[in-house]
Amino acid sequence: EVQLQASGGGLVQAGGSLRLSCAFSGVDFDRYATAWFRQAPGKDREGVACLNVEDRTYYADSVKGRFTISSDGAKRTVYLQMNELKPEDTAVYFCAAEPDDFFDDTNYLSASEYDSWGQGTLVTVSS
């Protein structure tokens, strides 16, 4: 069973930075695609970034050039570095993981493809 623990959210001013962490417990970390999603009040959950088993990254257009997903295999942790934050980035951020067996380039950021989720961490960006 995979368990994910997200942390690192907080309050930051527009233009600032935060780094989210997602600690992975369970077997076969190296077999999993890991992703970050976010959900703002009244909106659907949206994919933000994904790192697959080949170290390829995928980003939502709204965060390209500002957010970076990375991992530390030894620590079994996935990070989301968020720079140049905007008020519209305010949301609860979730990490998710799924064995990278059946993805293709079109669905790494689709929430429905993931079965393992961490609890959310709130990011609030003030203007």
pLDDT in tens, the chain (127 residues): 899 999 999 999 999 999 999 999 988 889 999 999 999 999 999 999 999 999 999 999 999 999 999 999 888 999 999 999 999 999 999 999 999 998 998 999 999 999 999 999 999 999 9
What's the rounded Cα separation, in Å, for the pair 24 and 4? Answer: 5
pLDDT the model gives residue 35: 98
CA 124 to chain centre: 16
Residue among 55, 58, 32 at smallest CA distance from 47: 58
pLDDT (tens digit per residue) in 16-32: 999 999 999 988 889 99
Angstrom distances, CA of residue 48 to CA of 1, 92, 101 = 24, 12, 20
Residue among 18, 16, 21, 36 at smallest CA distance from 123: 18
pLDDT the model gives residue 1: 83
